[in-house]
Structure formats: structure tokens, C-alpha cells
Structure 1
Amino acid sequence: MRVWAVANQKGGVGKTTTSIALAGLLADAGKRVVVLDLDPHGSMTSYFGYDPDSLEHSIFDLFQHEGNVPEGLPWQLLLSTSHERISLLPSSTVLATLERQSSGQNGLGLVVAKSLSQLWQDFDYAIIDSPPLLGVLMVNALAASQQLVIPVQTEFLAMKGLERMVSTLAMINRSRRQALPYTIVPTMFDRRTQASLSALKLLRSDYEANLCPAMIPIDTRLRDASRAGLTPSQFDPNSRAVLAYKVLLKHLLTLSNAAQVA
């Protein structure tokens, strides 16, 4: 299994859309994918037609065992999605209480990694949709992953969120055996606006070595896919955004294959 986390310490930059788009493309290629919704807002869970306010069981259950994960529990929590090769570990709004409950408990930072170890042989990829706040949930996402994807909206304020995310990553890397590689993905790009062009220029100047070669454009087909509960590539495989996400996926696979060889 390869584990990718999608994270940024700023909301509204396209994390959930990016997570689902990548999962959809991998599933289209025949891969078995599990997606994890670690955001208490539950956007990914809602995307696939479930209500995070009313789910009786969710990924929150994994954190209720003092850092241990009972055998078989991750399997019990899996839900089906609109794609037969994508399974969902759903969020629930009760996840918002985890920070308060976790004070004084040791070992909670590795709950997701321990959970994925039980699913390791049954899925080819795990994609984690992370919350926009640094806390036990984001720490779990980063600790479990082998590759970090950072969507960044192409506008000035998003640059500040990126700076915080890179700073957080540097802190996390000090506790990892090897640094977590990351790829920055420009999202909501509109070449007609000066804001998008200026932001892209800044990204190329400051983060060229970690920048995805494609920009994800503003595309109403993404919103339509969300409304239908389908992955973007299920809804419209030839949309501008899906074509850009295909470039991102190819880039990530190249990085992953190079890392495995190394």
C-alpha cells in the first residue's frame, strides 16, 4: 500500500476535491483505494452521500482505545462509495472533540498508521483528507503517509497557509526517520486573473523543486461531480480539471516509484 496525505493549514483550497480526484483516477486504473476523512467537517464523507452529523460509527472510533486499534475495527468502519474500488473510512462531527479528549493520552499520533497496517494487504492506495488545523488528526495523517500533497489556491492569502504548512512539515520531519516528501498543487487557477498569475509566479520562485507541473483550473464540472456524488473522472473524464489531475497523478507516481527504487 502507498499512503498519500492531502493537507494544508488553510481551508477552502481544494483538499477534498484533490483527494477524491486522485482516488478516482487510481480506482479507474484498477487500483483498490481506501480514502480516510480526518476532517471533522466531513466534506469527503458528505461527498459520498453520508451525513457526518448522524453516523453512529466513524473514524473517531479508532481513537477510543488509548492509542491501540482493536483487530478488525478498521474493516468494520468501512463504507462503500459511488466507485466500486473506493472504500471510505468516514468522519463524524464528534471528531472535533478529539483534541480535548486526547490531552494526557499517549500514543494517539500513530492511530491512523496502526489502522492502515490492518488494511495493508487489501488496498493498493490510501488517501487521507486532513483537517486544516495542526493537531492530533493532522499529526496522524503526516505520520502515516509516505507522500504529502499540498493543494494551494492561487491567491495571495493562500501563500501564508502554505508557509505554515511547510513549517509544520519541518517540525514533523524532526520526529520521522526520514523526511516526508511533498508536492505543492496550484488549485483554482484562472489565467485570466492577475491574482492567479502572481501567485503561480511566486510558487515557481519559492517552491520550484516541489511544485506540480500542472495547475488545477477553476472548473464547474468539479462542483457538478460533487453534487452527483461521483468522482470527477466518473462524472466527466475529459474535463479540464480531470486532465490536470491526471498530470498530478503521473507526477506523484513518478516520485513514488523513484523513492521505492532509492
Structure 2
Amino acid sequence: MQTTATLSTKGGTGKTTGSSNLGALSADAGLRTLLIDLDTSQPTLSSYFQLDYTAPGGVYDLLVHNIVDADKVISRTRIPNLDIILSNDPHNQLETLLLHAPDGRLRLRSLLTRLPNDYDLVIIDTKGTAAVTVEMALVAANNVISPLYPEMLAAREFHRGTLQLFQGVNNLRRTLGLDELPLNVVFNRQDNSNDARDIAFEIRDMLGTMDDSVKVLETHIPALVTYRVAASQGIPAHHLERTKPSSRRAASALQTMQQVACEVWPHWKQRFEGV
């Protein structure tokens, strides 16, 4: 089982858009995929897709009561192979309970091994701030995706917040005897202007000198209305746009998501390219 977490200590960068679209692409590629919505403050992923079955519980029941019964905590979307554990924190206690639990940061890693369904890929969507649930997701993950606007102010915030949190969790992982996490940075909502490309090149060069575990993906997600329209309709962007309009330079949503997925999970490249 491959487990991937999204990461950004700044809200609104596109973590949920990336999680939902990459999860749906993976499901269409025949991979049994589980989404986990750990953003209890803005649980957008929980309402992104229509559901065929809504479980009575969610992340609170999983993490606080250790419930791993699929019918009780795992909901099923209308997309074949795509399930989700919905965000729920009825009394806003999850962060506090995990913070004071002796195994708080390790709990999700342990529980994932006990889930009854044999998932190929788990994608964990996190909140846009430093929090124990974010650290818990990074301890459970095999790799990380971090969307970043191609702007210098966003890059500086990434360095002060996201990268600092990421490095702290990697230090924790080393003390636990776990492998160091790789971080995949993907430029999101990048337009085709020369200015945006120049800034992206400068940020790529800057990040390349910071940490060997940080990689900037060659693929960027363009600033297209397609992704907003797909989200409003509750469907994956690649279902809405499979081919590139002849009048546009940017790749289609399908091609973009395929390229991102192939960079993040290269061992499934043939599956993604076959969608």
C-alpha cells in the first residue's frame, strides 16, 4: 500500500483539488484508492464527490475510537474503486485528544494497516496549518505532495512554514527508525505568461539548493477554469476535459493529471497512461 499526504501550511493552495483529482485518476486506472479527509476545519474533500454509501462515522471514529470496520468509517463514492473516510470532529476535540495521546503522531500509521480493504493507494488531505493531525499524516505517509503558487511570496512562506514542518517530521521519522520522506512540489495555477515561467524557474532553482528530499515536479498544473467547473459539478477534472482545446497552449486536465501522477508514483506509469 502506497500512502501519500498533501502538505501546505498555507490554506487555499490546491491540496484538496489535487487530492480529489489524483485520487479519481488512480481509481480510473484500476487502483483501489482511499481518500482520507483530515482537514477538520475546512473539510472540502468530504463533499467533493457524490456518495453511493455514507458511513455513519469518519476520521474521528477511526482515530479516537480506533474503529476500522469498513461499514462504520469508510464511505463509497460513485466512482468505482474510490472510497473516502469523511472528516468529522463533532466537538472540535480531535487535535487536542491526539496532542495528549502518547501515540498521537503514530496512530494513523498503525490504523492504516488494520483497515479491512486492500487498498493500493491512500491519499491523505490535510489542513493548511501546522497541526498534530498534519504531523500524524506525514508519519503515516510514504511520500508527500505540496502544491505551490509560482510566486516569490508564496515560495518564502513555503520555506518558513511548510518546509520547516516537513523537515521537523523527517527528524521525528529518523528517531522512529522510518525512512525519510520525499517531498514533491507541484506548481499550481500557473499561467502561460513569461513572468510566471521566469518566477517558477527561479523558485525551482531556489528549492533545488535547500534539501535533497525536496523535488519540484516537471509538470505544473495550469490556471484553468476547468478545475473550478469540475469541482462545482463534483466530478474529476479529467472526466470534464480529456483532450486539449485546439485554441489553447496548456495541456488538457487528463494529460496534466496523468503527468503529475506518473512523476509522483512512477511504478504505476503504465496504468495512468492507460486512462
- Which interval holds the TM-score relative to the shorter structure? 0.7 to 0.9
In structure 2, what is the equivalent of residue 260 of structure 1? Answer: none
Q: Which moved more, 1:197-206 or 1:149-158?
A: 197-206
* Aligned pairs (5 A) from 1:91-102: 91-92=87-88, 94=90, 96-102=92-98
For structure 1, which runs of at least 5 residues remain unmatched after alignment?
Answer: 258-262
Paired with 2:181 and 2:78, the residues of 1 have a C-alpha distance of 31
* Aligned pairs (5 A) from 1:7-18: 7-18=7-18
Paired with 2:83 and 2:117, the residues of 1 have a C-alpha distance of 14
In structure 2, what is the equivalent of residue 197 of structure 1? Answer: 197
In structure 1, what is the equivalent of residue 226 of structure 2? Answer: 221
Does 2:264 correspond to 1:252?
yes
Q: 1:106-158: per-residue Cα shift (whole Å, max 9, x none)?
A: 11112221221123761110011111111111011101100111110122332
Aligned 8 A contact 2:262 2:268 in 1: no
Paired with 2:230 and 2:172, the residues of 1 have a C-alpha distance of 39
In structure 2, what is the equivalent of residue 78 of structure 1? Answer: 74
Q: Which moved more, 1:239-248 or 1:136-145?
A: 239-248
Q: 2:254 aligns with which of 237, 242, 257?
A: 242
Cα deviation for residue 74 of structure 1 reads 5.1
In structure 2, what is the equivalent of residue 39 of structure 1? Answer: 39
Runs of 4+ displaced beyond 4 Å: none
Paired with 1:8 and 1:213, the residues of 2 have a C-alpha distance of 19
Identity %: 24
Aligned 8 A contact 2:56 2:72 in 1: no
Select the structure that is richer in helix: 1
Size of the aligned set, in residue pairs, is 249
Paired with 1:73 and 1:202, the residues of 2 have a C-alpha distance of 48
Which amino acid is 1:28 matched to? Answer: D
For structure 2, which runs of at least 5 residues remain unmatched after alignment?
Answer: 209-213, 245-251, 270-275
Measured at CA, do residues 182 and 48 of structure 1 come closer, stay the same or move farther in structure 2, by a change above 3 Å?
Answer: same
Which amino acid is 2:240 matched to? Answer: F
**Secondary structure, in 3 states, of the residue corresponding to 1:233?**
helix
Cα deviation for residue 214 of structure 1 reads 0.8
Larger relative contact order, structure 1 or 2 (CA cutoff 8 Å, min sep 6): 1
How large is the RMSD of aligned CA atoms in angstroms? 2.4
* Aligned pairs (5 A) from 1:80-229: 80-92=76-88, 94=90, 96-119=92-115, 122-163=118-159, 164-176=161-173, 177-192=178-193, 194=195, 196-208=196-208, 210-229=215-234
